[in-house]
Amino acid sequence: MSKWLLTVGLVVVAWLLWSRLRGNARAARHKAAPPRVAPPRAMVRCHVCGAQLDAALARRDGPLYTCAEHQSPPAHEGDTPRP
């Protein structure tokens, strides 16, 4: 009977050591991988209000940029200016 208890005890100790080593290796793999960060995007300033916005969202007017609130709608033929 003592041989069985000794065998079961050794198996339990071996399993605990194996699981602990496996957990440390898994944690090391997660720490080694750097977090994925998006590349920085170009930011510009609206020349009317000074808001910072993504250059892809800004409208360029010569050397100046405007945000969506200050972009004038495109002129259509036949439109008359409203007072």
Q: Residue 20: its pLDDT value, please?
A: 82
Query: 1 lies in a domain?
Result: yes
Query: 42 lies in a domain?
Result: yes
Q: What range does the domain containing 2 cover?
A: 1-35
Q: Residue 43: its pLDDT value, please?
A: 92
Query: 63 lies in a domain?
Result: yes
Of the candidates 83, 80, 53, the one whose C-alpha atom is nearest the C-alpha of residue 71 is: 53
Extract the runs of DSSP E, i.e. beta strands, from 1-83.
43-45, 52-54, 59-61, 64-66
Q: Are residues 46 and 25 in the same domain?
A: no
Query: 79 lies in a domain?
Result: no
What is the distance between the alpha carbons of residues 79 and 83, in angstroms, rounded to a whole number?
A: 12
Give the count of domains, the chain. 2
Query: 57 lies in a domain?
Result: yes
Q: Are residues 43 and 31 in the same domain?
A: no
Q: Residue 52: its pLDDT value, please?
A: 92
Enumerate residue ranges in the chain where pLDDT < 50.
83
